[in-house]
Amino acid sequence: MAQLDATIVNVSLPGLAGTLHAAFPTIQWVMSGYLLALALTLPLNGWLVDRIGARALYLRCFAAFTLASGLCGLAWSAPSLIGFRVVQGMAGGLLAPMAQMLVARAAGRHLPRVASMVTMPILLAPLLGPIVAGGILTFASWRWIFLFNLPVGLLAFALAWRFLPDDRQEARPRALDLTGLALLSPALVFFLYGIDRLGQRVGGALVCGGLLLFALYGVWAQRKGDDALIDLRLFGGRVFSASVATLFLLNGALFAGQMLVPVWLIHGCGLSPDRVGWLMMPMGLGMMCTYPLMGRLTDRFGIRRLTNCGALAAFAGALLLVFLALRGSAFSLLAGALFLRGAGMGAIGIPSMSAGYASVKREDLPVATTALNIVQRLGGPIWTTLCAMTLGGQASASPFMASRAFGLAFGLLCVLHAGLFLATLLLPVRLAGKRGGSAPD
């Protein structure tokens, strides 16, 4: 639900602007407010799990998300809708890391096999969002985009209440690091909002402010140690650091590619947006073919060998995109390139995440989950912005200039994929036999 709601509203924004009598820059905050609220509450995840337990927090977040969805459906103006979306985003920001942590706790060393099943709906949600929204808007009011969540949320809440184990005995209440929260949450919001507007003066100022707050949090966390909101000493572990670096680069490659390819097909090849949507399908198909096999492939080949092969396949797909941008598009070759990228990147995420979780103690899982999610969330906008800056304003220039610009942008994407391959070389050969044990080299 949280993943679906991150994309489902995009299709309805023009209609919302007219129905609620709001300017489009204002109504865009229905989307931006939700995404920034996700980032705002994310640093609290580890502390809240330690404070009240994973089951209690998950149930409260799900209840808050479902209630906020209903309120969004009843909104009477643009400001009220934006406000309810912020509440919805704050609850949604805790749901994704909570789900990961609960699965990691239950699965143990079998996480790759279990995660391959759990990840499928999360993968499908961004692809299905526009389709679901289009179907709803064809037959009903925009309000049903949000009211649709009520029956789903009530059913999910009942199932979670019935089946999630009571873990209150594992709670270890600790004081909230208010200074750390005051530094880290605004740092995430400033950085993510600023990097989205890096071409403007306010964007650059916010990015610099976010980086300064990150640096101040690093100094503060070193002083606080175990009592910090996120204990940075986790990054001292080689396997955990390798997992974080791999996921950061993977998210960057995924989002940067998802931005570059459609822009190239529309501006560089002159295709219509609806045709571009169909041409992008091979990448999703590649990921969907890989994910269900992750458990078996990880058991057979191990973490490092599987992620190495995945990174090389994705790199080969990116090289094909450079060739196509410079020499002209051949749609059969494009389909192969996108399928390679999708299948390759699908073979990296779950094994590297599993290695990261297996390298920390069970009691450190809440904080480790928070750290992994924060770094992942930063990778996408950073690398997307860098690729967009490389592209510059030449996407709609002359065909020769446009092909060079896109070739250079896809070349940067290849550099990113090469870095991703190097990061996978640092991952362990296989998962540790016991949770909390050191992963083998």
Q: What is the pLDDT of residues 321-339, one digit of tens each?
A: 999 888 876 778 888 999 9
Q: What is the mean pLDDT of residues 295-319?
A: 91
Quote the CA–CA distance of 277 and 271 in Å, as a whole number. Answer: 10
Say if residues 89 and 163 touch (Cβ distance below 8 Å): no
Percentage of the chain lying above the pLDDT 70 cut: 85
Q: What is the mean pLDDT of residues 208-221?
A: 91
Quote the CA–CA distance of 2 and 340 in Å, as a whole number. Answer: 28
Model confidence pLDDT, tens digit, residues 370-381: 888 888 778 877
Query: Taking the model in full, what pTM does it have?
Result: 0.76
Assigned superfamily of 233-426: MFS general substrate transporter like domains (1.20.1250.20)
Least confident of 33-42, 175-184, 213-222: 33-42
Residue 7 — very low, low, confident or very high, per pLDDT cuts 50/70/90? Answer: low
Query: Regarding predicted confidence, which is higher, 344 or 129?
Result: 344
Nearest residue to 255 (alpha-carbon basis) of 349, 145, 118, 356: 349
Q: Tell me, what's the pLDDT at 66?
A: 92
Q: Tell me, what's the pLDDT at 420?
A: 94
Q: Tell me, what's the pLDDT at 414?
A: 93
Q: How do the domains of the chain map onto residue ranges?
A: 1-164, 178-228, 233-426
Quote the CA–CA distance of 78 and 72 in Å, as a whole number. Answer: 10
Quote the CA–CA distance of 98 and 49 in Å, as a whole number. Answer: 9
Residue with tokens 């709001």: 22
Q: What residue type is assigned to position 174 of the chain?
A: R
- Asked whether the domain spanning 233-426 has the same topology as the one spanning 1-164, the reply is yes
Quote the CA–CA distance of 338 and 329 in Å, as a whole number. Answer: 13
Say how many C-beta atoms besides its own lie within 10 A of residue 195's C-beta.
Answer: 20
Distance from CA of residue 129 to its chain's centroid? Answer: 15
Residue 441 has pLDDT above 50, yes or no: no
User: Is the CATH code 1.20.1250.20 the one for domain 1-164?
Assistant: yes
Say if residues 252 and 383 touch (Cβ distance below 8 Å): yes
Residue 314 — very low, low, confident or very high, per pLDDT cuts 50/70/90? Answer: very high
Max alpha carbon distance in the chain (Å)?
65
Residue 313 — very low, low, confident or very high, per pLDDT cuts 50/70/90? Answer: very high
Report the interhelical angle of 111-139 vs 294-301 (nearest 10°): 160
Model confidence pLDDT, tens digit, residues 415-435: 999 999 999 999 998 876 544
Enter the tokens of residue 199. 């071409």
Query: Regarding predicted confidence, which is higher, 274 or 80?
Result: 80
Say if residues 235 and 226 touch (Cβ distance below 8 Å): no
Mean residue pLDDT of the chain comes to: 81
Quote the CA–CA distance of 311 and 417 in Å, as a whole number. Answer: 7
49 contact partners, CB below 8 Å, separation of at least 6: 57, 98, 101, 171, 366
